[in-house]
Amino acid sequence: MSKAPLMPMATAVWLVENTTLTFKQIADFCQLHEVEIQGIADGEVAKGIVGYNPIISGQLTDEEIKLSSKDDNRPLNIIDKEIDIKNNQTKIKKYVPLSKRQDKPDSALWLLKNHSILKDTQIARLVGVTKNLVTSIRNKSYWNFNNLNAKDPVAMGLFTQKDLISAIEKAERKALREKNSKTKI
């Protein structure tokens, strides 16, 4: 058997206490020595280890244990399931080091200059600043406006090119909808 169960010693304790499997079957399943399993049964090995139920953890089924209990030569087979881990969150907030936080206003200025179609709220969301900061940069009333240098936020790693493209496409779709609604009136 190539795969050992999770927490093999605790699993062996549970199997010894709760099943009629042979020591050899338990030893082969848990990838332990048969003498260790006998020591667990005698109370000399694994003192204080709480048994770990392999059925609850999905490593064995009750049917598998019953089949192996009836036939002493039948080995226990671990259930090998592939688990899909899905990320339900659309975007995870990424930690921005202090050295890069001072570049956020520069990035907002770059976006205002190069992608004027973006709304202030979109820029604020992309860069990770407040809408008021973006508005003050747009109006040139930002307290440190004269010292700002426009810097590409994608090159600095504040967000990805994919995020920028999707924001631009969204802004273009909204502008097109507004243009179409004005022409119909």
Q: Are 55 and 62 in contact, with CB atoms under 8 Å apart? A: yes
pLDDT digits (tens, 9 = 90+) for 127-162: 989 999 999 999 999 999 999 999 999 988 888 899
- The residue assigned the tokens 């399943």 is 29
- Residue 102 Cα to chain centre, angstroms: 29
Q: Are 134 and 108 in contact, with CB atoms under 8 Å apart? A: yes
- The residue assigned the tokens 């090995």 is 45
What is d(CA 173, CA 169) in angstroms, rounded to the nearest whole number? Answer: 6
- pLDDT for res 87: 60
Contacts of 110 (CB under 8 A, 6+ apart): 150, 151, 152, 153
Name the residue ranges covered by the structural domains of the chain: 8-70, 98-184
- pLDDT for res 100: 80
- pLDDT for res 183: 82
Please give the structure tokens belonging to residue 99: 């050295």
Pick out the chain residues at pLDDT < 50. Answer: 1
pTM over 0.85: no
- pLDDT for res 1: 44
- pLDDT for res 98: 82
Tell me the three-class secondary structure of 114-174, residue by residue.
HCCCCCHHHHHHHHCCCHHHHHHHHCCCCCCHHHCCCCCHHHHCCCCHHHHHHHHHHHHHH
